[in-house]
Amino acid sequence: MRKLRTYRRAALAGTALLMLLSMAPMPVVGLVDGLEQQTPEEQRALQTENAKRLFAGDECGALAEGASCAEINDRTKGKYSCQKQTNGKIICSPKFATQGAAPEAEKLPNPVKPELSIPIPTIKFSDIQITSQGEKRTIDIPWIGDYIAGVYRYAVSVAGVIAAVIMMIGGFQYLTAGGDAGRVTQGKERIQNALIGLFLSLGVYIILNAINPDLVTFKGLQIQVIKRREFIIDGDEGVESGGEAASCDEAVTKAKAEGKCPLPDGQKFKSPTGGKFACNYHFKDANYNYKDIKNLDFPAGWGQEIKAPFAGTVTYVKHTDSLCGNEIKLAAKGGGDISICHVKDFTDASGNYIQSGSPVIQGAIIGHLGGNCCEGEKPPEDWRSSKNGWCKKPGPKCTDPTRKEECSCQPWQQSGNTSGPHVHVTYRFKGTSPLICLE
């Protein structure tokens, strides 16, 4: 009878322990970065604070009204990126601050929480968290840890129910043994095994934590946010590629610091339009290595005056099958020259044709800009102007580049392969880059 009372007490104690543990919070809740220890209001407040810290906005306002890109860059000291559209409209947008701030329009990530095909009551997915350390931003997604924690709690609950049932069966078997030593032994073994299994399932967290705490710490999936970078695209042969403004400026700075300008008489390379070069694919394709950059594009409008970047001798070429279209060549004294493509005409400010071989001074008007391919023109099929349908400008059509005509578009042979008006310069001074000489 004493042994019977002992096993009855053991069965009751095991059942009571199971009930208490199933109602108590499991230690595995801490496996997912403590997210479940926060209320929904606290989590939302944390996300709002992260948003304020990580994302800051600016508005250009009326900066673009009546201003050029060069003026905007000067007035804002590089705070805004300026883009000139093909229709002449100027759009400016704020750049990121050095700490990684983004425009106000950019929204926080809001991924959809997973939905289980078979719902498990102990699995609850937490909200994502955004953290910042300097310029590094990460999104912590705790769903894997949530899932493992929920499955563990569910498994412990199931194990507890099974253990309770087995202990009840063992106790019933023991009570109804009727003096049968074999049935008594079987009943005791059932109770003992159920208790051992229950303690193992509940104690696995303590055991693993004692071996190595990392075994029970399921950190959220951390994804580093790729910093948005501004790309400026301005009137190149195709608008599908651009360059990073900061990297373009760095390339120019490095070129001037390391290189030596080959232009004679201490000249600098002046902009043929008076504006800044476009930071586009010419830089990107050269991986921003100034030594490999031999071409520059300068945004400009149809009919705009083209000025000599340096003093030299001009030569004019009217092509019939060149990507360059009408071309101005300017040779410097002592060797080296440049080509200027997509030219409308070869006339000066008065509309007079400048004879090939004429000497010109720096800043002299040596032509006017073209680059509009007339509607209905059929350039070669392998040209991007053909593939992208850039020949769509209505007339009247220009015919003679030696005269200053009142026209609005060109045959494809004269416009060349271009998406619109811009001054394309190819630089041919051996071993140097135009960036070295930029004024």
Residue span of the structural domain in which 367 resides: 232-437
Q: Are residues 314 and 406 in the same domain?
A: yes
**Lowest mean pLDDT, pick from 16-25, 174-183, 352-361:** 16-25
Q: Are residues 117 and 193 in the same domain?
A: yes
Domain end residue (candidates: 223, 241, 271): 223
> What tokens appear for 327 in the block?
């071309």
The pLDDT value given to residue 47: 44
Domain end residue (candidates: 166, 194, 223): 223
Higher pLDDT, 203 or 53: 203
> What tokens appear for 277 in the block?
């070069």
> What tokens appear for 298 in the block?
């300068």
Q: Are residues 210 and 240 in the same domain?
A: no
Specify if 137 maps to a domain.
Answer: yes
CATH of residue 283? 2.70.70.10
Query: What region does 82 belong to: left with phi over 0, alpha with psi -120 to 50, or beta?
Result: beta
How many other CB atoms sit within 10 Å of the CB of residue 323? Answer: 17
Q: Are residues 123 and 213 in the same domain?
A: yes
Q: Are residues 131 and 18 in the same domain?
A: yes
The pLDDT value given to residue 343: 94
Query: What region does 95 belong to: left with phi over 0, alpha with psi -120 to 50, or beta?
Result: beta
Number of domains in the chain: 2
Q: Are residues 335 and 201 in the same domain?
A: no
Entry pTM: 0.48
Percent of the chain's residues with pLDDT above 90: 22
Between the alpha carbon of residue 352 and those of residues 111, 320, 404, the distances in Å are: 65, 23, 8
Q: Per-residue pLDDT for 73 more than 80?
A: no
The pLDDT value given to residue 87: 52
Residue range 321-336: mean pLDDT, rounded: 90
DSSP 416: -
Q: pLDDT tens, 371-393?
A: 999 999 999 998 888 888 889 99
Specify if 372 maps to a domain.
Answer: yes
Q: pLDDT tens, 255-271?
A: 899 888 989 888 999 99
Q: Are residues 252 and 390 in the same domain?
A: yes
The pLDDT value given to residue 90: 58
Q: Are residues 245 and 127 in the same domain?
A: no
Q: Are residues 317 and 431 in the same domain?
A: yes
> What tokens appear for 297 in the block?
């594009």
Specify if 61 maps to a domain.
Answer: no
3-state DSSP assignment of residue 311:
coil
Domain end residue (candidates: 160, 188, 223): 223
Residue range 150-154: mean pLDDT, rounded: 86
Half-sphere exposure of 112 (CA within 13 A, CB side): 3
Specify if 72 maps to a domain.
Answer: no
Q: pLDDT tens, 157-175?
A: 888 889 889 989 988 888 8
Q: Per-residue pLDDT for 235 more than 50?
A: no
Between the alpha carbon of residue 89 and those of residues 221, 286, 304, the distances in Å are: 44, 29, 16
Q: How many residues in the chain?
A: 439
Q: Are residues 333 and 385 in the same domain?
A: yes
Specify if 101 maps to a domain.
Answer: no
Q: Are residues 431 and 368 in the same domain?
A: yes
Specify if 125 maps to a domain.
Answer: yes
Q: Are residues 201 and 333 in the same domain?
A: no
Specify if 314 maps to a domain.
Answer: yes
Specify if 381 maps to a domain.
Answer: yes
